[in-house]
Amino acid sequence: MSRARSLVLALVAVGASACAHWPVNPPLPDLKVDPEHGYRFGKMTTPARKDDTMVIVSFSGGGTRAAALAYGVLEKLRDTKIRGGSSDLLAAVDVVSSISGGSFTAAHYALYGRDGLPRLRERFLDQPKTQLRLALSTLNPYNAIRLLSPRYSRIDLAAEYFDKLLFDGATYAKMPRDAPYTMINASELDIGTYFSFTQEQFDPICSDLEKVKVARAVASSSAFPILLTPLTLQSYGGPRCGYKPGEWFDLANQDLLLNPRRFRFRSDVNALMNENRRFLHLVDGGVADNIGLRGPFQALTSPDTLQMNDSDPVAGFSVPTMINNGEIKRVVVIAVNARTVSELKHDKRASTPWVVPVVANVAGAPMGNYSFETVTMIQEWMNSMNAQISTANQLIAACPDCAKQIDLESSDVRYHFVEVAFNLLPESEQAHFNAMGTNYSLSKQNVADLIDAAKRILDGSKAFEQVVKDMQ
C-alpha cells in the first residue's frame, strides 16, 4: 500500500513538474510590430516634454542597500523645491534607469509614484527577512516539485514572490505613461550586453511587453548569477514581425574604426534580431553594467535608437535628437551608486583565502571597475561638452564679430552630473556602509542610515547645489 501511495505521489510530482513552466512572454499582436504600441519613450508624457530639462536618475545594484540608497534620493528630490517653490525636483525626473536592487525602488516608484514611497519602505525595505522568506519558499513542497521542471526555476519563483510582495500582479500595461520612463535593466547571457524592459527593446524579439509582469523585469534585473537562475524570455524573431531598425543600422556597419561603440551597438541589435535566437536568458543587470548608466549613455550620445524609423510621431530615446529639435537646454544625470569598497580582510592573514570569497571577489572586482569606468566616462564626456560651450562663449566675448558666424543657440546645452556614493561621506562613516552586504536582509536601522546618508550626500554635493540653483 505504502509502495502504491509513494508511486502515486511520484507520478503526481512528475506530472506537476512537467506542467510547471515559466510565464511565456507573448508575441506582438498579430505578430506585427507597431511603432506606437506599448511602453516606449516616444509615448511617454515625461516632464522633459513640458520643460527644457532632461533629468535622468540611475540606481545601481546592491540588494536592499542599493534600494534604500535610491529611496533616500527619491525622498530628497521630493523635498527639494525648484522654480521658486512651485515644483520639486522629483516631479522633474524624466528617466529612471536601474539595476538589480535599485530596480525594486525604480519599478515601485514608476507604478505607485511618490505616494507609494511609504508602501515600498514598509513592504520591502523594512523587511529584514525577505531573503530568508525567499529561500524558504523553495522548501514549500508545491514549489519544490515545480522546481524539478527544467522549464521552471528559482528566478521564476523569485518573480512570483516579488510580485506578491510588492507589485500585485501589475503588468507593463499598467505602467503610467506620465511617470518617468523606467528602464529596468538585466543582462543578456549570450550577447553579454544590457537588456532594458521597454517595448523598444522588445520590438527586435517581436514580443509584447504590455503583458509581461513588472515583477519579472525586477527579478531578472536582480538575478544574481549562481544564487538565482537566469530568467528566460521567448524570442519571436525580429524580421518575422516586420521589425527593422532605423537607417543608422546599415550605415553603422561601416563604422568599426570611426565609432566602435556605434558598431558594437549595431552588432548587439543584430544579434538580438537573429531568427535562430529563439530564447533570451537574462541575468543580473550588474553583469553588463552595475551602475545602470549604459542605456542612458547611449541615449545621451547618439541619435541611434531601437525605435523603428518610419514612425515620425514617436521618437526613440535620444537626447541629441531632442536637443536638435530644440526640446532640451539642460541635462542632469544623478547616478546613485551603492558600491562598497572591500574592507581589509584576507590581506591580514598569510593563509590562502577560501574558495567562496575568492569567487565573490573575482566576480565583484571587474563589476566594480567597470562601474567606476562608466561613471568616469559619462562624467568626462559631460565635462568635455560643457568645456566646448564655455570655450565658444569665451571666444565670442573676446571677438563679438565672431558671434555672427557661430551658432551657439542650438548647441548651448548645460550638462550636470551628480553622483551619490559612499565615498562622498566623511571617511569615518564609510566603514559602516562598506560593511553592509549585498542581500535582502538589512536591519531597519541600516535602512534608515542609508536613507539618511543619501540625503546628506546630496546636501553636501556642489554639483547638486548647482542643479537646484539652475532650476530655480
Partner 1 sequence: MEFVRVLFPTSRKVRIDGTLNGTTNKTLQVNAGTHRFTLDGVSNYSPPSILRAVTGTTNLFPLTLQFVPLVGTATIVPETAVLEAPAPQAPAPAATAPGGAARRRAQAKKKVKKAKTAKKARPAAKKKSAKKVSAKKVSAKKKSAKKSTKKSAKKSAAKSKKKGRK
Query: Which residues of this chain interact with partner 1, rule CB under 8 A?
Result: 246-248, 251-252, 254-255, 258-259, 261-262, 301-304, 309-310, 312, 315-316, 318, 320-321, 323-326, 381, 385, 388-389, 391-392, 395, 406-411
**Strand 181-188 versus strand 93-99 pairing type:** parallel
Distance CA 44, CA 66 (A): 26
Q: How many CB atoms lie within 10 A of CB 36?
A: 12
Residue 328 vs 458, nearer CB to partner 1: 328
CB of 243 to partner 1, least distance (A): 15
Taking the complex as a whole, the smallest distance from the CB of residue 193 to partner 1 amounts, in Å, to 17
Cα–Cα distance for residue pair 32/346, rounded to 1 Å: 56
State the Cα–Cα distance between residues 67 and 436, nearest whole angstrom: 13
d(CA 90, CA 318): 21
Looking at the Cβ atoms of 176 and 260, the one nearer to partner 1 is: 260
How far apart are CB 263 and partner 1 at their closest, in Å? 8
Smaller CB separation from partner 1, 77 or 315: 315
Give the Cα separation of 44 and 110 in Å (integer): 12
**What is the residue whose three cell numbers read 560651450?**
389
C-alpha separations of 21 from 16, 24, 71, 197, 216 in Å = 10, 8, 34, 21, 14
Q: What is the DSSP string of 171-200?
A: BGGGS-TTS-EEEEEEEETTT-SEEE-SHH
Of 388, 182, 387, nearest to 292 (Cα)? 182
Residues 408 and 389 sit within 8 Å (Cβ to Cβ): yes
Nearer to partner 1, 137 or 393 (CB): 393
Q: How far is the CB of 44 from partner 1 (least distance, A)?
A: 18
Considering beta carbons, is residue 17 or 321 the nearer one to partner 1? 321
Shortest Cβ 329–partner 1 spacing (Å): 13
Q: What are phi and psi of 178, to 5 degrees?
A: -100, 10
In this complex, which beta carbon is closest to partner 1, that of residue 250 or of residue 459?
250
Kindly write down the DSSP assignment for every residue of 15-60, as one continuous string.
Answer: HHHHH--PPPPPBPGGG---TTSSS-GGG---GGGTSSEEEEEEE-
Q: How far is the CB of 200 from partner 1 (least distance, A)?
A: 14
If the CB atoms of residues 31 and 389 are measured against partner 1, the closer one turns out to be: 389
Question: Would you tell me how many other CB atoms lie within 10 Å of the CB of residue 460?
Answer: 12
d(CA 216, CA 94): 23
| Pick 298 or 446: Cβ nearer partner 1 | 298
Cβ(209)–Cβ(252) below 8 Å: no
Q: Whole-number minimum distance, CB 383 to partner 1, in Å?
A: 12
Nearest residue (CB) to partner 1, 41 versus 236: 41
Kindly state the smallest distance separating residue 374's Cβ from partner 1, in Å: 17
CB of 251 vs partner 1, minimal distance in Å:
4
